[in-house]
């Protein structure tokens, strides 16, 4: 939470400073034109990459697979699109990184690995009664007191 507040303070100040510096070098109108151009190029790239990711997700679902990677990439695309629509060069650079397929897949891969590690650490692999929980082949919790089996009554 502390880092989020810092980001919301530092990034706008950095953006203003950079816009003023660039505007001082090339002028106000070319700077505004560059900001608008990056937004338009970003929206066009977002549409292409968004449709490509959507089609990959549909292909996976038609094969009966969970499109987890594509869903995470969709979130990354949405964040990248929002950053590209935010005026400024720093947010545009980060937004374009979210839209470039190789970089996006790297970001998503690192994020998913970090998320999985955090979930495993927080869950602690414990069952509802505090003991170690292991799943058997049937997918049931082997640490419970229930025994699954078949019987045949003989008289």
**Looking at residue 133, what is its pLDDT?**
47
Q: d(Cα 104, Cα 114) in Å, to the nearest integer?
A: 15
> Which stretches of the chain drop beneath a pLDDT of 70?
118-144
**Looking at residue 61, what is its pLDDT?**
94
Nearest one of 88, 106, 87 to 97, comparing CA atoms: 106
**Looking at residue 129, what is its pLDDT?**
46
**Looking at residue 110, what is its pLDDT?**
87
pTM: 0.68
């Amino acid at each position: 939470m502390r880092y989020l507040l810092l980001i919301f303070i530092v990034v706008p100040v950095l953006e203003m400073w950079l816009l003023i510096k660039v505007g001082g070098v090339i002028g106000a109108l070319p700077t505004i034109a560059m900001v608008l151009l990056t937004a338009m190029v970003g929206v066009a790239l977002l549409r292409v990459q968004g449709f490509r990711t959507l089609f990959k997700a549909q292909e996976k679902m038609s094969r009966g697979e969970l499109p987890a990677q594509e869903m995470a990439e969709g979130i990354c695309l949405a964040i990248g699109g929002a950053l590209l629509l935010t005026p400024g060069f720093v947010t545009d650079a980060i937004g374009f990184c979210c839209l470039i397929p190789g970089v996006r897949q790297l970001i998503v891969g690192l994020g998913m690995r970090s998320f999985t590690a955090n979930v495993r650490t927080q869950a602690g692999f414990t069952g509802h009664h505090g003991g170690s929980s292991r799943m058997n082949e049937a997918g049931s919790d082997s640490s419970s007191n229930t025994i699954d089996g078949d019987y045949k009554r003989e008289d």
